[in-house]
């Protein structure tokens, strides 16, 4: 692709990546409401979830516009290559760590809320907490495995400029050799996380228990 086509591709990729990551945050929030506020969760309808999803898409448009503005400034040479990479790193940290931070905070609040609930038996909160902790552990491991290579690549790219290597060398080494690897890791993170939430949801666990019972009886 030419430079302009590549920049357009980068903007669209950032937009959908933003939407994917913050939709996972939306799933985490809905799980938080369903577990800790069952009476309030009754008010959550398909229509309200679609509205929240629309808000996530709209936030992605706003953030994607800022990302696009950075690319336009770079194309018109209104920003140095070093500053452009620094801004790219800031966007990368935002898109990777902010959603992850929200998920972890919501999980911690869920654990504390469960321990204070009065409508559950004494054994239930600890049982639910163990299942949620296992789910979060799987999410954290996959997240770290998928984002560390990406962020390490971006940091090394910034260091490449800071120690004044030639721009052509930086472009060749980081973009042409590592782009496929980092893209694959990003795809892994965004594709697997929703599946983890699905398999740890009560209906899925119920089906798995039935399968286990059938296998045991057989």
> What does the radius of gyration of the chain's CA atoms come to, in whole angstroms?
21
Q: Which of 55-59, 120-124, 201-205, 211-215 has the lowest mean pLDDT?
A: 120-124
Give, for 5, the enclosing helix (H) or strand (E): helix 3-36
* Residue 126, pLDDT above cutoff 70: no
* Per-residue pLDDT reduced to its tens digit, 161-196: 666 655 555 554 555 445 666 667 777 777 787 788
Sequence ranges of the domains in the chain: 3-217
pTM exceeding 0.85: no
Residue 84 is predicted with a pLDDT of 72
Buried b (16+ CB within 10 A) or exposed e, 178-193: beeebeebbeebbebb
* Alpha carbon distance 53, 26 (integer Å): 8
Whether residue 79 has pLDDT greater than 90: no
In CATH terms, the fold of domain 3-217 is Rhopdopsin 7-helix transmembrane proteins (1.20.1070)
Helix 81-116 and helix 3-36, axial crossing angle in degrees, nearest 10: 10
Per the CB < 8 A criterion, the answer to whether 89 and 12 are in contact is no
Query: DSSP code of 218?
Result: -
The pLDDT, as a whole number, for residue 176 is 47
Spatial distance between the Cα atoms of 197 and 79, rounded to a whole number of angstroms: 41
At residue 30, the 3 state secondary structure works out as helix
Angle at 127 between CA 126 and CA 130, to 5 degrees: 85
């Amino acid at each position: 692709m030419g430079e302009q086509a590549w920049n357009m591709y980068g903007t669209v990729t950032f937009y959908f990546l933003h939407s994917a990551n913050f939709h996972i945050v939306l799933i985490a929030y809905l799980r938080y409401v369903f577990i800790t506020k069952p009476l309030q969760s009754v008010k959550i309808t398909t229509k309200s979830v679609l509205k929240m999803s629309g808000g996530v898409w709209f936030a992605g448009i706003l953030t994607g516009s800022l990302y696009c503005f950075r690319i336009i400034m770079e194309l018109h040479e209104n920003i140095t290559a070093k500053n452009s990479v620094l801004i790219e790193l800031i966007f990368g940290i935002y898109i990777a760590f902010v959603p992850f931070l929200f998920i972890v905070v919501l999980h911690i609040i869920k654990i504390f809320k469960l321990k204070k609930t009065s409508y559950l038996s004494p054994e239930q909160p600890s049982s639910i907490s163990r299942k949620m902790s296992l789910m979060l552990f799987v999410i954290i491991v996959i997240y770290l495995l998928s984002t560390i290579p990406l962020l390490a690549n971006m940091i090394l790219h910034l260091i490449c400029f800071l120690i004044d290597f030639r721009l052509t060398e930086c472009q060749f080494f980081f973009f042409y050799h590592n782009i496929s690897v980092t893209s694959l890791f990003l795809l892994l993170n965004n594709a697997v996380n929703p599946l983890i939430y699905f398999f740890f949801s009560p209906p899925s666990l119920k089906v798995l228990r039935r399968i286990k019972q059938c296998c045991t009886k057989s």
